[in-house]
Structure 1
């Protein structure tokens, strides 16, 4: 099957499940605890390389139970953000991988007071992270706040363009931040296309972070498909139980393969 691009964790059972489908890409979603075992991260990346699978990592979302924010007023969170980024940059450079990273998550401090000045401050904080490895990190958008396309009108012109920032565009996050409006989502995808190297393909009703399988939400995949083809992406679908069974991601890949583009031509 085409477009088998999956997400998982570092547990061997989880890795074996994904590899059984002979995917093109696997993205490892890392935890704070995973970073305590950098050799294990390296081992999993090497397993993928041996199978001809392209590896991506995802920066941990939390530190000591608190969602990360590059502008956090908590010195411990800011310190962890930098130390973890530096570690992952080193691993990715040495093991030939890339890493998805959030400037902040929803409900953190960066979701308040969206101004040009705070956007510039965020830009300069990101610039510092880029000194660890510019070509390693791909920056993912949130559903609200300073790094959300639908809520920050300054994000592209004041931050992304000046930094020529490599992006991971999460289609569902963008859709939610745009209030579930497919026309606004299309504008975001067109505007960010020169900088987007990678996508998370996930469906959504456009109201909250629901992470649905493709076809179960309101995103217009006929519109989205031609805008993301030719770039790397995964199907980032919420899984049940211990997340060892990635069937909903495989089903989404099948759905995507069968989507006809907006001009009526099927691209498989």
Structure 2
């Protein structure tokens, strides 16, 4: 298995840097401005496919400086959320790619009043977006709020399971949502395994969104490895400068390749 699985943006210099490592997967982080030029997005996906690289897009996190929320009380944010999902679904269907999408981000409307009633409202909004394409979107968890494993006890049983929702599980987000508890992280990885198609592998101290290189935080990668092995994933590490140099992601890939998987984790995987 090729473990060079990287993240970048649409800048050609950025892409050329990632391609120099002969990756298996690249995820393109998109801004709201990127969506003004759909042909540029298509071109970058095609460059990947020409090299035999699988393409993922990441839905823009902000519009006009405001973080997105599928339940936002700002009509302009709701409009952009809907229209951008429709556009990216069309691009992904035609270009054979997938798209990571957040239901909401930290500090938005969906981080308040985490109740079963609001979880069911969120479920129906997600169902509506899924109508653009069930096969394109993979839904990523947040650190807090309605779409957070540590923040919402109703999320898995009352939203993910009924929708059979395709997931992106961000290992660091889940870890932080449980304040650095590896056993609770293990429980989520096991419970979401039937629905998880894609993972973001990032280390963390478990206190804040620190996005550390693997091995520099407190996540138990021996435990994590057998639970994500065989699925798509990338190493999503915060980069400095203009983000053109992805060395921390490459070093994370080397670290993960050398992690000896936890034996009882392997046994559990064989039994599932």
Give the TM-score band, short-chain normalised: over 0.9
For the 8 Å contact 1:237–1:248, the answer to whether it is kept is yes
**TM-score, with length taken from structure 1:** 0.98
Any residues of structure 2 matched to 1:112-261 within 5 Å, and which? 112-261=112-261
Preserved contact between residue 29 and residue 57 of structure 1 (Cα < 8 Å): yes
State the Cα deviation string for residues 84-124 of structure 1 (Å, max 9, x = none): 00000000000000000000000001001000000000000
Residue 265 to residue 59, structure 1, CA distance change in 2 (3 Å): closer
CA RMSD of aligned residues (A): 1.2
Structure 1 runs not aligned, ≥5 long? none
Q: How does 1:11-30 map to 2 (within 5 A)?
A: 11-30=11-30
How has the CA–CA distance of structure 1 residues 129 and 265 changed in structure 2, closer, same or farther, with 3 Å as cutoff? closer
- Cα shift readout 1:165-184 (whole Å, capped 9, x = no counterpart): 00000000000001100000
Match of 1:65 in 2: 65
Give the whole-Å Cα distance in 2 for the aligned partners of 1:55 and 1:132: 19
* Distance in 2 of aligned mates of 1:158 and 1:123: 8
Task: Give 1:264 deviation, angstroms.
Answer: 8.8
Contact between 1:2 and 1:257, CA under 8 Å: does it hold in 2? no
Matched, 1:110 2:110: yes
Alignment of 1:30-109 (within 5 A): 30-109=30-109
SS in 1 for 2:57: strand
Shift of 1:265: 10
> Structure 2 length as normaliser, TM-score?
0.96
Q: CA deviation at 1:2?
A: 3.5
Counterparts of 1:2 and 1:56, CA distance in 2: 16
Distance (whole Å) between structure 1 residues aligned to residue 16 and residue 151 of structure 2:
39
**Partner Cα distance (1:30, 1:261) in 2:** 33
Runs ≥4 in structure 1, deviation > 3 angstroms?
Answer: none
C-alpha distance in structure 2 between counterparts of 1:264 and 1:69, whole Å: 39
Q: Any idea what SS the aligned residue of 1:49 has?
A: helix
